[in-house]
Amino acid sequence: MINGMKFNKSKCQILHLGRGNAGHNYKLGEEWLESSSAEQGLGVLADSRLSTSQQCALAAKRANPILGCIKHSITSWPKERTILMYSVLARPHLEYCVQFWAPPFKKDVKVLEGIQGRAAKLVKGLEGKCYEECLRTLGLSSLEKRRLKGDLMALSSFLRRGSGEGGADLISLGSSDRMHGNGSKLCQGRFTLALRKHFFTERVVKHWNRLPREVVDGPSLSVFKRHLDNALNNMLQLLVSPELVRQLD
């Protein structure tokens, strides 16, 4: 059997994953392929350690100039229009495919929250306010809280589709009858690499297991979303730590 697919060899590179990787060289046909320290797939940048810190910096780099354009375009816009412009033009860059590349470190969280803080202070009268007060005045949630909500909604949608979908073995339901709280608790996986705790299938487990039964057992995704809003308000006023909030101000 002959593979007739043609590759653009100039765009093919090798990403050696893991610290102990021997870094072997490879050929595509008769040409040697170059190594790369980071590669982008579907718009998401990951390095050889599968860290997405570079993606966080890239997202901020894309959103920052847009904030600059908004700032120079407005003079006396009402706050609703300013926030609408940020939500439509800048925030999508900070949240694109974020279930895959959620920021792994506090410094990355700070970079992303800093963009939203800058956007909030475009509103007249909020220039000297602290980040938390800006969010409260504008009715915004921190990006970290929005990511958590998105994670839980994605997980709920995944579980509702059932085991017939691909990747059903990525999430394991608890089997103990003595579990407290909701009746659909998940099993936390075991791993040796600390980086894995930032993967979607691991980081979402502890938050899901803390949800009350009435949220998890919602008959539809829309009902789950409505109950989730109330649950998150009770669980988290602001996910960003006080130290981080002070750094953003």
What is the predicted pLDDT for the residue at 160?
Answer: 81
Q: What is the mean pLDDT of the segment spanning 238-247?
A: 54
What is the predicted pLDDT for the residue at 167?
Answer: 57
Confidence band (pLDDT; 50, 70, 90) for 238? very low
CA dist 66 and 97 (Å) reads: 19
What is the predicted pLDDT for the residue at 240?
Answer: 47
Give the pLDDT confidence of 77-125 residue by residue, as tens digits. Answer: 788 888 999 999 999 999 999 888 888 889 999 999 999 999 999 988 8
What does DSSP say about strands 31-32 and 27-28: parallel, antiparallel, or unpaired?
antiparallel
CB atoms within 10 A of CB 231: 18
pLDDT > 80? residue 70: yes
What is the predicted pLDDT for the residue at 61?
Answer: 95
Query: What is the token pair recorded at 205?
Result: 């487990």
The answer to whether the pTM exceeds 0.95 is: no
Residues forming a β-bridge with 46: 39
CA dist 66 and 145 (Å) reads: 23
Using DSSP's 3-state secondary structure scheme, residue 75 falls into: coil
Q: Which of 110, 137, 120, 132 shows the shortest CA–CA distance to 237?
A: 132
Which contacts qualify for 185-190: CB closer than 8 Å, 24 or more apart?
185/209
Residues 6 or more apart whose Cβ sits within 8 Å of residue 25: 14, 32, 33, 35
- Tell me which of 7-21, 42-56, 107-121, 178-192 is least confident: 178-192
Asked whether the beta carbons of 47 and 99 are under 8 A apart, the reply is no
**Phi, psi dihedral angles at 38 (to 5 degrees):** -155, 145
